[in-house]
Every structure is written in C-alpha cells, then in structure tokens.
Chains A and B, each alone.
Chain A
Amino acid sequence: MRNRMFDSRRSVLIRNITLPVLLIVVWQIWASTLPPGSPAPAPLKVLQTLADLLSTGSLVSATLQSLGRVLLGFAVGSGLGIAMGLAMGASPAVRENLDPIIESFRPIAPMAILPIAILWLGTGTPTALAIVAYASFFPVLINTVHGVSRVERKLILAARTMGVSRWTILTRVVLPGAMPSILLGTRLAMGVAWTAIIAAELAVGAKSGGGGSGGIGQMMFVFYAYNIDLNAIVVCMAVVGVVALLIDQMFRLFEKRLIPWRH
C-alpha cells in the first residue's frame, strides 16, 4: 500500500515535469542548429545572461524600481477605490449618481489612457503611477461595492438599535463584513497593476525614444531596440512571471491572515 502511494506520487511528478523539460530540451536543440551569430534565445544562454544581469545588479534595481512604482500607484488607486466603494455601498444616492460615469470608464483599458497620461505628466514616473492607479482602481471599487452590499442588514440594524454612531458602524460592522470582497479586489488589482506597469514602461520607452523611465519594462525595451539581446528579453519575461506569482501568493497569505474566519 505504502509502496503504491509512493509510486503514484513519483509518476505524478514525472508527468508534471515532462512537458516543461521537453519544451526546454527541444528549444535548446533547435537553438544549437542555428548558425552561431543568430540572435535567437537558447536556454543555456538565457541562464548565462541571467547570471550576468544579476551580477551587475541592473536586473534587481530595475525590478525594484518597477515594484516601487506598482506599490505606490496601487496604494493610491486602491485607497480611492475603497473609499469610493464604501461611500457608494453605504449610500444609494451616491451609488446611483456615480454608477453611469464609472461604468462608462470601466471598458477603457489603462493602456488607452497612456497617451493622455504622457501628454499631461510626461514620460517619467508620474505617468507610470497614474496608469497603475487607474488600473487598480476599478477592481477594488467594484469588489468593495459588492462586499458592502453583501453585509448582513440585520447586523447594521442591530448596531443602530443599540445607538452606535454611523462612523463606528462603518468601521466595526461594514468594513469587516466587506473585507473578504475588498481583499479579493486588491489581489485582482495588484495583478492588473503589475501588468499595467510593464505595459506602461514598455510603451513609454517605445514612444519616447527610450526616454528615462526605468524599470523592468523599459529594460526589456532597451534590449529590444538598442543592444538587441533576445536572451535578456527572455530573462526579463521570466522575472515578470516570477514577480507576478510572488505577488499573488503574498496576497493570498494576507487574505488568510486578515480574514481567518473565511478559511
């Protein structure tokens, strides 16, 4: 019995790694058939480039710069989203009046307002911040409104009967009740925000002739346009993926800590 379980776990592991390993091996074999001067990326060269970029520190500093912008823009966007969501959830009048405007902005992608952001704020950090804030605003807002509307009405009425002030009801009843939804919104928003920062840095780089915006998106653009290095681009893509994964895991951990009653 024990032996069989061990066996099946091992075969699952083998199945799990089959395709990724096959992909990398085929890619390496394909790359080694190319003439030596070819710019095509290859797994071994990617690893070597990763080591180079890590040793100069440029990869780490670019990633940190992007992360800093994401966190700042996310804080602004989600702060606004939570405040407005609470107001809209608490007051039908506010919700009714703001809904048409919000719903008409929602289908406009963050990248679509990038040209306007460049016109207003130039090609530096403020533009990237604005795009990230805009991108993270909507998921947080919508999930906050949804969360507030799901708070049990009886709880609010009970608190009111006991003469609790409106502010206390908001912070002690409504906010904890809406918390699961709000946290879901912030996790979604952070995912969108990370995508948006890459897009913004990439596009700002592409459209301002490589102007100094910095960050990992800009780094990718430089490797694309100036010192053409596809291996480095693949390294950047992998970093983008790993950071996205880490951010997501971190937010799931937060969710478990902050709302233990849901797990």
Chain B
Amino acid sequence: MTNIPRQLWVSLRSFGVFFLLWWLLHLWNANPLQLPSPMKVLEALWMLLREGEITEHASVSTLRMLLALTLAIVVAVPLGFLMGLSRRAEQYVDPLVEMLRPISGIAWLPLALFIFGVGDTLPVFIMFYVGFFPILLNTVAGVRQTDARLLAAARTMGIGRLPLLIHVLVPSALPTVMVGIRLAFAASWAAIVAAELIGAPSGLGFAIEWYRQLLMTPKVFAFILAIGVVGYLCDLGLRDLQRKLTPWAEGTGVAP
C-alpha cells in the first residue's frame, strides 16, 4: 500500500528535474522558436484543449486508427487461422507475405499518394498495411502453439470441426493474437504521424507539421505531447481488453 505514494513521489521528482533542466536549457538557448519554456508549452496545451483543437485532431487520428486496425484484424485473423491450420495454405500465402513484409509502410507513401490522393484513405491504408503483418504472424504462431494433446483429446471425444475451432483453437490462440494486436497498434500509431504529416489534411500528424510551418513551436510541442498521451492511453485500453478477453493468459502480455 505504501508503494503507490512512493512511486508517485519518485515520478514527480523525476519530472521536476526534467522540467527544471528543460527550463534551464531554454534560458541558455534563448531562442523561443527552437525551445519554448515548459510554461509556454503547458499554456499552449491548455489553450488548444479549451478550444477543442486537440480533441478534434486526436479523435480524427484515433478513428482512422480504429478503422485501420479493425480492417487488419478482419483480414489477418481468418487468414492466420487458415495458414496455421493448413500447411498447403501457408505454402501458398507465405512467400507473398515475406516478400511484402520487409517493405515498410512508410515506403508505400509516394505510391499510395498517387493511388489515393491526400485524404482519409491514405493514412488508413498505411496503418492497415503496417498493422496487418504483426496480427497475421501472431495468429499463425498462436494456432500452431495449440497443445496437440488438447486437439487429440477433443477429437477422441468426437467433436465436430466447428466446435473444435471455437472451443479449442480460438481460446488457445487468442492470447498470442492479442499480443499481435498490441504490436500492430504500436506500429500503426508510429506510422500515422508520417502518413498524416505528408498525406492528410487533418489529424495529429498534420497539426504538428502545420504549426511547425507557422513557427508556433509551443503548439508543436503540445501536439507531440498529445500523440504520446493518446498512444499511451490506447495501449492501456488494449492491455485492459487483453486482461478481460484472455484472463487465462496472465503474463503473455508483458512482451516489451
């Protein structure tokens, strides 16, 4: 019980030192365009929050991410099950996956700009692409890891193919799939900034670049802070979902 206030105290102390260093650095640098004081940044953050600008851009970005991740899950999870269950399916699909996987989502930007133009589709496509591979690979691994004895036991009891899938394979693969979804989220949240920076008229990445061009540095810092906070909150939410969906798999989620 006494651990929590102590942890809080340590965090506060660390942040105190961090802000003090930042403030001293800002005095030494003396160029508010490059490094504004921490107070200026907090003020900008407060202003942007009060005017609703941050929440507006953050919700646009979050919606795009949700859409992309949902699409990635809908495509990658069934495909992963198919590839995990059938060697033949894997032999067909795997080379294509391994051919595309090393090409990072960012490298698709110029081509995707031509195909989709500037707008909503481009960031969604990039995030879908980036999130697809971790989910697929983790699903395949999860299905493969299913205890062969469980499968044999279920078959011995004369279970049908569909119940086998629902009652044995899915619960067994789900924890690994959830880890894949968290990895996919991290990757697509990192890619969203690049995608919006170049190819979208709205969203957090766009806002950062917009205020950089206007040389309103405190607002740039405020939006960067917002990206970190929203990313952190989403990861907390996913961890919570992981705990609720797969309570039998405590500990699989600690992969750093």
Contact = CB atoms under 8 A, between A and B. Distances in A.
Interface in B12-68: 13-15, 17-18, 33-35
Nearest to B94: A16
A98 B192 CA distance: 28
B160 interface: no
B4 interface: no
A194 B208 contact: no
Contact of B111 (A16, A115, A234): A234
Contact of A240 (B17, B91, B104): B104
A242 B110 contact: no
B256 A230 contact: no
A112 B14 contact: no
B87 to A, nearest CB: 9
A105 to B, nearest CB: 7
B228 A107 contact: yes
Contacts of B212: 115-116, 118-119
Nearest to A12: B91
Given A115-B208, A206-B198, A223-B110, A108 B228 contact: yes
B103 A241 contact: yes
B92 A220 contact: no
Interface residues of A, number: 58
B96 A100 contact: no
A12 B92 CA distance: 8
Contact of B92 (A18, A96, A206, A234): A18
B222 to A, nearest CB: 12
B145 interface: no
Interface string B209-235: 100110001001100100111011001
B91 A105 contact: no
Contacts of B95: 16-17, 19-20
B189 to A, nearest CB: 7
Nearest to A192: B190
Interface in A137-169: 142-143, 146
Contacts of B76: none
Interface string A13-49: 0011111100100000000000000010100000000
A115 B107 contact: no
B232 A119 contact: no
Given A19-B93, A143-B256, A223-B110, A244 B34 contact: no
B10 interface: yes
B194 interface: yes
A220 B11 contact: no
Contacts of A240: 102-104, 107
A115 B93 contact: no
B238 interface: no
B118 to A, nearest CB: 11
A237 B108 contact: yes
B89 to A, nearest CB: 9
Interface in A186-217: 194-195, 198-199, 202-203, 206-207
B103 A105 contact: no
A112 B103 contact: no
A245 B96 CA distance: 14
A195 B105 CA distance: 8
A108 B227 contact: yes
Interface in A39-65: 39, 41
Contacts of B94: 16
Given A17-B95, A109-B193, A220-B110, A238 B209 contact: no
A120 B189 CA distance: 24
Given A97-B14, A238-B103, A115 B228 contact: no
Given A20-B96, A101-B14, A109 B190 contact: yes
18 contacts: A15-B91, A18-B92, A19-B92, A98-B14, A100-B11, A104-B228, A107-B235, A109-B227, A111-B205, A112-B228, A113-B224, A114-B193, A116-B224, A202-B194, A221-B110, A234-B111, A237-B107, A242-B102
Interface of B: 10-11, 13-15, 17-18, 33-35, 88, 91-96, 99-100, 102-111, 113-114, 189-194, 197-198, 205, 208-209, 212-213, 217, 220-221, 224, 227-229, 231-232, 235, 256
Interface of A: 12, 15-20, 23, 39, 41, 96-101, 104-105, 107-116, 118-120, 142-143, 146, 194-195, 198-199, 202-203, 206-207, 220-221, 223-224, 230, 233-234, 236-238, 240-242, 244-245, 248
